[in-house]
Amino acid sequence: MSRALRRQPLVQKPPAKTPSFKPSGGRLVKKQTAATVEGAKHLSFYDRRVPRPVRDIIAELKKVTWPTREETTRLTVAVVAVSITIGLLLGGVDIGFNWLVDNTLLRK
């Protein structure tokens, strides 16, 4: 440990405050349904036929915030414009290097 760290006074954290209220009543217990009980006989077609990982994927995809049509169009145009610009820039650099090599190294 460095001397600078040893010189620093230790900071004591204040004690954690306890909540000023006490919840009344017992805990609510979720009522079990056929869909929540493992091995239930009355499962829907969706629960019986679709494997669990696929159901998890579908549930996650429902949580996704999908872009609107306008956002998708705007971003697509931006990507195409940047791609064309970079392509033209790299094409120009390639033509420039070809000219440089032809006029310097390959000169007869």
Give me 16's structure tokens: 């954690």
Query: Do residues 70 and 46 both lie within one domain?
Result: no
Query: Do residues 70 and 108 both lie within one domain?
Result: yes
Query: Do residues 71 and 104 both lie within one domain?
Result: yes
Predicted confidence at residue 76, as pLDDT, reads 98
The pTM assigned to this predicted structure is 0.46
Which residue's structure tokens are 């499962």? 43
Query: Do residues 55 and 88 both lie within one domain?
Result: no
Angstrom distance (rounded) from CA 28 to CA 15 = 31
Query: Do residues 74 and 60 both lie within one domain?
Result: no
Instruction: Give the residues of the chain that fall short of pLDDT 50.
Output: none
Query: Do residues 55 and 85 both lie within one domain?
Result: no
Angstrom distance (rounded) from CA 56 to CA 101 = 58
Domain that residue 77 falls in: 66-108
Query: Do residues 72 and 58 both lie within one domain?
Result: no
DSSP code, position 50: S
Predicted confidence at residue 22, as pLDDT, reads 63
